[in-house]
Amino acid sequence: MTKVIGLTGGIGSGKTTIAKYFNEMGIPIYIADDEARKIMQDKNVLNEIKTTFGESVFENNILSRPKLAEIVFEHKDKLSALNGIVHPAVKKDFESWLATKKEYEYVIYEAAILFESGRYKDCDLIITVTAPEEVRIERVLKRDNTTREQVLSRMAMQWNDEKRISLSNFIINNDNLKIAKQEVVKILKILNIKQNQS
């Protein structure tokens, strides 16, 4: 049976970069946040969002992700409401995806809120990606059209590294990508996974 490796880390830790490196090594990856974005275009999901959050998060009948993000990252109860809509749909989608990967010994399930959502309980192993807070803030500021205050607010919504690490099997420090990639190779060796460096 295919084993699920949960891969997580705080905002700006570079967990998606690490997931993609695992993919280069021949392990299928499921990026939960990317799939959630696609799922949020589903008519039924959009209707639930409209019912819960109202018309204000829509522009010309199209969901405004920045407006929705502004609401959910300022109010924990609103974030829980959104997760209650999106997470069950993502879980179902992942299970369908996993069913097509039976020939693989391991797959990676990458999610920002693996612990907060409770999805870590469905994983066989967990890898947490870390990086110093200032490095993470700088990465997010470069990547997203946001402010330092908004980044700190989003960080405050997530578990801290200590809490994640206490429940993880492996830790990858992604301060330096070259060293982080070497950590990936070490993990593959420990798990006895053949590397595909095509």
130 labelled as ligand-binding? no
14 labelled as ligand-binding? yes
| Structure-block tokens of residue 193 | 């996974």
- 15-24 vs 177-190: helix axis angle to the nearest 10? 50
d(CA 126, CA 165): 9
198 labelled as ligand-binding? no
17 labelled as ligand-binding? yes
Instruction: Label each residue of 25-87 as H, E or C.
Output: CCCCEEEHHHHHHHHCCCHHHHHHHHHHHCHHHEECCEECHHHHHHHHCCCHHHHHHHHHHHH
142 labelled as ligand-binding? no
51 labelled as ligand-binding? no
Q: Which of 66, 68, 30 is nearest to 46 (CA)?
A: 68
d(CA 5, CA 168): 10
Sign for the CA dihedral angle at 33, 34, 40, 45 comes to negative
Q: Give the residue ranges of the annotated binding site for ATP.
A: 12-17
Q: Give the residue ranges of the annotated binding site.
A: 12-17
